[in-house]
Amino acid sequence: MIISQQKRSENIAEYILYMWQIEDLIRAYNFDTERINKELVDQFQVDTEVRKDIRFWYEGLAESMKSEQIATSGHLAFLVGLVDDLNDFHYRVIDSPHHSDYRVIYEDAIYNIGDFRKKMLVKDKMSDMEVCLTVLYGFMLMKMKKRPISEDTAEAIETIRKLIALLSVKFKEFEEGLIEL
């Protein structure tokens, strides 16, 4: 909860990726809230009230995942909506005359986004941002598992990382009223 709040205020993409990781953790713990509390929540060095809030946060996420029927895969509806919002923002920035820097980076990444979309073999069409975030999440998991990544794949991922990094900065600036579209 504490980390998610910080990430949400600082970087929208990191927040989404973090929340996807939390969803996977809850699944890995088989929605066992006692185990989650013991192995995750109790590790936080915070006072009792904050630990109680964190516990309720994890329990709430687990309950939402069950009620939304995403116990084995998928993402919480509010995260799906946030990815959709980010994708809409992405296209608004592309169309804006004030953000040619973003268009340049997008043009550098667009081929790689399409290539990853094809490799994912998804039935329904994924938005650009869902593809990008899924690629970055997969890359993070591969690094955690110490799996090798080809140089070409690493270069392709880097174009996507740069795109998402700049979009996240612009998203925060837009939320704070510092830029216009």
pLDDT score of 8 = 94
pLDDT score of 123 = 59
Tokens of 22: 């939390």
The whole model's pTM is what? 0.94
pLDDT score of 101 = 96
Which amino acid, residue 92? Answer: R
Average confidence (pLDDT) over 25-53: 94
Q: How high is the mean pLDDT of the chain?
A: 95
Which amino acid, residue 33? Answer: T
- End-to-end CA distance of the chain: give it in Å, rounded: 31
pLDDT, one tens digit per residue, over 33-46 is 999 999 999 988 99
Confidence of residue 124 (pLDDT cuts 50, 70, 90): low
pLDDT, one tens digit per residue, over 65-106 is 999 999 999 999 999 999 999 999 999 999 999 999 999 999
